[in-house]
Structure 1
Amino acid sequence: MEHEIVTCLPGIDPVLSEYSVGFLSHAATSTSPDADQELQEAIDAVTNILLDVADSKDPSSEKKVTDLVDKLVKQLAESHGKKVGAKRTVKRLENTIHMASQKNVSATAGLLEGGVDLDAVAGRKMESKVDRKKLEKAEKKIKAKQDKKIHKNVEYEASKLLVDPEENYEEFYMKVNPLQLGSSAGKSKDIKLDNVEVSISGKRILTDTSLTLAYGRRYGLVGQNGIGKSTLLRALSRRELPVPAHITILHVEQEITGDDTPAIQAVLDADVWRKYLLAEQVRISKRLEELDNYKPPSEDSDEEPLTKSQIEKERDEMDALLSDIHAKLSEMQSDKAESTAASILAGLGFSPERQKLATKTFSGGWRMRLALARALFCKPDLLLLDEPSNMLDVPSITFLSEYLQTYESTILVVSHDRAFLNEVATDIIHQHSERLDYYKGGNFDAFYATKEERRKTAQREYENQLAYRKHLQQFIDKFRYNAAKSSEAQSRIKKLEKLPVLEPPEDEYNVVFKFPEVEKLSAPIIQMTNVSFAYTPGNPIVSNVDLDVQLDSRIGIVGPNGAGKTTVLKLLIGALTPTGGTISQNPRLRIGFFAQHHVDGLDLNDSAVGFCSKQVPGRTEEEYRRHLGAFGITGTTGIQKMGLLSGGQKSRVAFALLSLKNPHILVLDEPSNHLDVEAMDALALALRNFAGGVLMVSHDVTMLDAVCTKLWVCDNGKVEAFDGDIKAYKKRIIAQAGQDGVVRQNHHV
């Protein structure tokens, strides 16, 4: 019957057609003394509902609807031995009725597009037959779909801290973080979300889990590459999860767009509400001055003069608003804004001179620092950081670590830097198996130990349960048909059936990086003698560099960003030609270079298997897949487009390709970026066992400490050996920071 309604009225809501048939069917099967009256009332109500849905411009619509209802009623009545003899009363509603304003009405009304009260139309009240729980669930789904439609064609940029007029940054920031005039001190800034579900491109990231962030705690979010950590941060920053509106959120995800704005002004402008309030303060003060000096318009003017009461009323409104603005600016500590912004920039390596330079003059790494400085300056209630150490040098990471340890708001940071998490995090959230596990009150090392103990305990429990079940089953199999033991066997059968479904614990996550054996070469392998390089004459990047790399070398190069570390690596691999000095190397030498921006060298429209086969041909597809699998690119990951892979997965593809080239020397520029902890451990082990030489630039203290036996510091145009390990170098930085008040302001490009 529903099909007949849909055929007659193609645009009808399925809920409405289902309700109409159910209403008529209920009345037709009624056995009450007033059954005939109920059926007639049902006919009248359904007829009016369908008329309201029908096209009012079609003169035949009324006849079409009445014929349809007659047909339905006749079928129902005949099937139950009833006759319809009462007079039909047809009413078309002139105005729809808003169900939320009515009492004791049908629960289905909320789903009807016109807001029609089904019971009011019938002229009497009757109990709804709709399952309210299902209805609430349906309403939530409809609301979620409507919310998605609203943002479907909008590229959200507020969380990325971009300054691009075309993207309407300020407008989106204000929508996501609505201003609460007056104090919001009484409102809790804890976040407690239940039944969290997150997915992207059809892939489920989180399922029916809880997200709990206590205000003032610093959470480290960890998990395997590709598990969806960055996706969770984006869902929070875009408020796709129901975070309370009074909680402000900022997400540092990418570098800012460069323009003519000075660096310090770019930081000040990041707090768009402060900027807005200052502008409003000027506007309201100007308007109050106009009201105080108000003069009625001339007789020739079309403008209506203001009465005394209107002036007083507007003045009172403006005074109240100005008072709220002053209170909010005071709460923001607006008067200290410039000094705060300058100190944050200084800590991240911006000298006073560079703070005045236009943002477009900075490289990508420095723009990323600006984005971080803007977030720290804004002091949001929830600060989301996605691998903040990837674009920072050791001095800046040291400053950031020290700064965040005294940060008053909530922090959720994705990072695989163990040393950084040990210093910053008060709690660890482990994302895996579409859920979140919490490890409270401990740093990363404590979490790692506890996680491993949990895994071992779960494995032992699983094995014990298997053994117990096996023991029961053996007894059952042995004595099932033994008359003397049959009752005991039946008892064990029942016991076995009552045991819960046994699920194996999550497999231990294991990654193995392996670089191939290399043949021995005679010295010199690579030797730099008195090497200098300058992009422009008279302005050298590095000068008088003497560096020797052998097959057993494990050298780490550290120093501030922009000091020339990557330039030294490019000179070594021949990507740059020195402007002074000589570089000699063995003619049979093969060098494997891992670039910091290795993604630029990948064809993101190709699969990992296809890309490797083109770069290093000569093997079967199965061999490429097996080789990629050793680097953690398993299953369908190796044959899908690399553009869909996470940053860590792309890094693994780059390392797998590097291994295929069978190099004698590995030259690595920030190799740990984007890798998860297990992959970093595997990489460190592989580099230690590699038969060739290793020269790396890295900011990761754990990686440098695990691999390198020699440390060279690149700073002020020099590359010099450091007498000590990475921990001693870090202590020197902290000591210098204490002397200077900030972390080395002379660390600049």
Structure 2
Amino acid sequence: MLSITDLSIRLAGRLLIDQSSVQITPGSRVGMVGRNGTGKSTLFKVIRGELAAEHGTVTLPPRWRIGSLAQEAPNGPESLISVVLKADLERDALLHEAESATDPHRIAEIQTRLVDIDAHSAPARAAAILSGLGFSAADQLRPCAEFSGGWRMRVALAATLFAAPDLLLLDEPTNYLDLEGTLWLEDHLAHYPRTVIVISHDRDLLESSVDQILHLERGKLTLYKGSYSAFEEQRAARELLDAKAIKRQEAERARLQAFVDRFKAKASKARQAQSRVKMLERLKPITALVTEDVREISFPAPEKILSPPIIAVDNASVGYDPATPVLNRVTLRIDNDDRIALLGANGNGKSTLVKLLAGRLAPFSGKVTRADKLSIAYFAQHQLDELNEDASAYDHVRKLMGDAPEAKVRARAGAIGFSGKAADTKAGKLSGGEKARLLLGLATFFGPNMIILDEPTNHLDIDSRAALAEAINEFPGAVIMVSHDRYLIEACADRLWIVVDRTVTNYDGDLDEYRRLVLSTRNAEPGPRERSATAEKPQRPKSDNRGSLKKRIAEAEAEIARVSDIIAKIDTALALPDIFTRDPKQAAQLSKARANAADALARAEEQWLEASSQFDEAAG
């Protein structure tokens, strides 16, 4: 059991958690929620032992392994599958020792333990996790260094999940994922066999993947049973009960105070009056649940509603190299009140499509027609880094308003969520959510006809995401969304487009159907998509494919040699004359290990034959 007892955490002089206690039983799947900046990530650091608490204790069962997402993405020449396999430290150490062990008894112990931890099925398990997170079979053999930072963070997540720690701590894991990866992760966490605590603002993940909610508010930790919707119901009921209790207490205080005021001057009633004073002192005020107001998000309406369609694309191809376009044969139209969400895995061309719609990429062929005076606002997460860190929200707004009076500039800064002193806070000191709010306000400043939102929710908490959904629904213009947040899509989108197979088509199903499609696809053999640090490049030419096949052949040959060596060592151990009489259990486990190794050898030989055959075909 994870026991948090009378815990207080202070950071930079600010009390984040104040004398809180909670117990989490083994096997629980817990979603941790709370406003940004309340101390959720700091609590994780205390649990991991990276930060000392001011008071109280965090107690874990002995020998529990804690796993969490690495702060830095893996990099270097190792293949993705190798990086993930090395996350199981015990398996990795045992395999290294098995290569040099010569004592038959130690060989027997090593192979027995490898059987116990199911080591021979590890490559298949690692490959399944990488596939679920969007890496094809070919991707998994490529070096980490070939991938962008976002994709390498997915590898770090895959390694953490593969290690299957006793306590899994995940802090906003969906920030690195697309919708398809998020759907797979929801399913994976829902079946995680050990204890997991996940900090998330994703309603659907909290609804489908966890069975308890740990809420951090005003320095207090409260554990609720059930999913996120059950938490909301329980919290609303608690607010109602607290309100009634406060009302009853106020009435009781008024009654006691009235008695004291009436009789305190009378000698015959002095003792009773003094008794009521003591009762008043003992009547501790009930602390009501205070719901912090969420600053609304609003988008200025366009000055003029344009005649439809505002954008029409006819048989266009687009990309970064005319010889190998990312998207082909794209035909679509957008009307002035459309709400469209783009589906499709990262790397399929969603960002390329929105750049085409925004006019940031010209088509290689085909035609794009835009309405006269069409104004488009474009928001993308990477633009957060483009804010001037030394300039305040007021400074950013002032740049857009020229010589406008001070009062008008401050009023406009307040309208996008930065009133009073907040308007003078430098961007470098703003939280991720505050930066996102500022950038949304700046992008839509002049009342666009169409807004393009590329992953707008990454730094927004649950309430701010709800405010964003409300703003989208109230905006009279068109909205195009790329988001991994299923709640936002379901709340706002009335059309779904899927970007796959180098084109864009209308998707007639709903997100539940799409979820089933994604899970069935990612639990099957992955397709031949390629990823690279310069995202959305086309598939490699045949010469590169032959190089990949050659690498697969070499790796299969190395695996055949490694497993053959293991089998030889097991045979040596089984050849000991007294093994079956001295330790029949160990002998049985060694026999099982040999059978597993023989299966692994057969699989490696099949992979070698398949890769060799494909290589010969490519060469021919």
Which structure would you say has the larger RCO, counting Cα contacts within 8 Å and 6 or more residues apart?
2
1:742 aligns with 2:527: no
User: Cα distance, 1:279 vs. partner?
Assistant: 2.4
Q: Which of 381, 385, 398 is the equivalent residue of 1:596?
A: 381
Q: Which of 312, 319, 323 is the equivalent residue of 1:527?
A: 312
Q: Give per-residue Cα distances to partners, 1:617-646, cap 9 Å, x unaligned.
A: 556777666666666667765544444443
User: Cα distance, 1:415 vs. partner?
Assistant: 1.2
User: Cα distance, 1:457 vs. partner?
Assistant: 2.0
Native 8 Å contact 2:75 2:145 kept in 1: yes
1:258 aligns with 2:75: yes
Q: Which of 350, 359, 362 is the equivalent residue of 2:135?
A: 350
**Structure 2 length as normaliser, TM-score?**
0.77
User: Cα distance, 1:439 vs. partner?
Assistant: 0.5
C-alpha distance in 2 between matches for 1:519 and 1:624? 20
Q: Which of 351, 355, 358 is the equivalent residue of 1:570?
A: 355
Q: How does 1:308-327 map to 2 (within 5 A)?
A: 325-326=110-111
Q: Which of 443, 446, 467 is the equivalent residue of 1:682?
A: 467
Partner of 2:367: 582
1:420 aligns with 2:202: no
Q: How many residues align?
A: 524
C-alpha distance in 1 between matches for 2:36 and 2:523? 38
Partner of 1:136: none
Q: Which of 28, 35, 46 is the equivalent residue of 1:224?
A: 35
Partner of 2:300: 516
Native 8 Å contact 1:222 1:431 kept in 2: yes
Native 8 Å contact 1:525 1:551 kept in 2: yes
C-alpha distance in 1 between matches for 2:244 and 2:525? 49
Give the secondary structure class of the aligned counterpart of 2:381.
coil
C-alpha distance in 1 between matches for 2:469 and 2:454? 14
User: Cα distance, 1:253 vs. partner?
Assistant: 5.0
- Letter of the 2:73 partner, please give it: I
Q: How does 1:435-584 map to 2 (within 5 A)?
A: 435-440=220-225, 442-474=226-258, 476-477=260-261, 492-501=276-285, 503-523=287-307, 524-584=309-369
Native 8 Å contact 2:303 2:447 kept in 1: no
C-alpha distance in 2 between matches for 1:199 and 1:661? 42
Native 8 Å contact 2:300 2:446 kept in 1: no
C-alpha distance in 2 between matches for 1:468 and 1:576? 70
User: Cα distance, 1:344 vs. partner?
Assistant: 1.5
Q: Give per-residue Cα distances to partners, 1:588-634, cap 9 Å, x unaligned.
A: 33222110323222233444444443455556777666666666667
Partner of 1:15: none
**Distance change >3 Å, CA 623–CA 578, structure 1 → 2:** same
Q: How does 1:706-717 map to 2 (within 5 A)?
A: 706-717=491-502
C-alpha distance in 1 between matches for 2:346 and 2:388? 28
**Distance change >3 Å, CA 452–CA 704, structure 1 → 2:** same
- Letter of the 1:192 partner, please give it: S
C-alpha distance in 2 between matches for 1:232 and 1:271? 25
Partner of 2:26: 215
User: Cα distance, 1:720 vs. partner?
Assistant: 0.9
Partner of 1:700: 485
C-alpha distance in 1 between matches for 2:255 and 2:416? 40
Give the secondary structure class of the aligned counterpart of 1:408.
coil
User: Cα distance, 1:465 vs. partner?
Assistant: 2.3
C-alpha distance in 1 between matches for 2:123 and 2:501? 29
- Letter of the 2:88 partner, please give it: D
User: Cα distance, 1:684 vs. partner?
Assistant: 0.7
- Letter of the 1:557 partner, please give it: L
1:206 aligns with 2:23: no
Native 8 Å contact 1:557 1:711 kept in 2: yes
Give the secondary structure class of the aligned counterpart of 2:363.
coil
Give the secondary structure class of the aligned counterpart of 1:597.
helix
Native 8 Å contact 1:385 1:413 kept in 2: yes
User: Cα distance, 1:430 vs. partner?
Assistant: 0.6
Partner of 2:604: none
| Stretches of structure 2 lacking an aligned partner (at least 5 in a row) | 53-57, 532-620
Native 8 Å contact 1:395 1:743 kept in 2: no
% identical equivalent positions: 36
Partner of 2:549: none
**Distance change >3 Å, CA 535–CA 466, structure 1 → 2:** same
1:280 aligns with 2:64: no
C-alpha distance in 2 between matches for 1:527 and 1:470? 70
C-alpha distance in 1 between matches for 2:276 and 2:200? 50
User: Cα distance, 1:326 vs. partner?
Assistant: 4.7
Native 8 Å contact 1:563 1:748 kept in 2: no
User: Cα distance, 1:649 vs. partner?
Assistant: 2.9
- Letter of the 1:237 partner, please give it: R
User: Cα distance, 1:402 vs. partner?
Assistant: 2.0
Give the secondary structure class of the aligned counterpart of 2:86.
helix
Partner of 1:237: 48
Native 8 Å contact 1:479 1:486 kept in 2: yes
C-alpha distance in 2 between matches for 1:743 and 1:224? 40
C-alpha distance in 1 between matches for 2:385 and 2:297? 22
Partner of 2:613: none
Q: Give per-residue Cα distances to partners, 1:152-190, cap 9 Å, x unaligned.
A: xxxxxxxxxxxxxxxxxxxxxxxxxxxxxxxxxxxxxx2
**Distance change >3 Å, CA 666–CA 265, structure 1 → 2:** same
C-alpha distance in 2 between matches for 1:198 and 1:661? 44
Greater shift after overlay, 259-268 or 720-729?
Answer: 720-729
**Distance change >3 Å, CA 401–CA 384, structure 1 → 2:** same
Greater shift after overlay, 411-420 or 719-728?
Answer: 719-728
1:340 aligns with 2:157: no
C-alpha distance in 2 between matches for 1:210 and 1:617? 53
Give the secondary structure class of the aligned counterpart of 1:584.
strand
Q: How does 1:120-131 map to 2 (within 5 A)?
A: none
Aligned-pair Cα RMSD in Å: 3.0
Native 8 Å contact 1:608 1:640 kept in 2: yes
1:649 aligns with 2:466: no
Q: How does 1:719-734 map to 2 (within 5 A)?
A: 719-734=504-519
Greater shift after overlay, 722-731 or 214-223?
Answer: 722-731
- Letter of the 1:713 partner, please give it: I
Q: How does 1:13-52 map to 2 (within 5 A)?
A: none
Q: Whose Rg is larger?
A: 1
**Structure 1 length as normaliser, TM-score?**
0.64
**Distance change >3 Å, CA 383–CA 711, structure 1 → 2:** same
- Letter of the 2:241 partner, please give it: T
**Distance change >3 Å, CA 472–CA 732, structure 1 → 2:** same
User: Cα distance, 1:512 vs. partner?
Assistant: 1.6
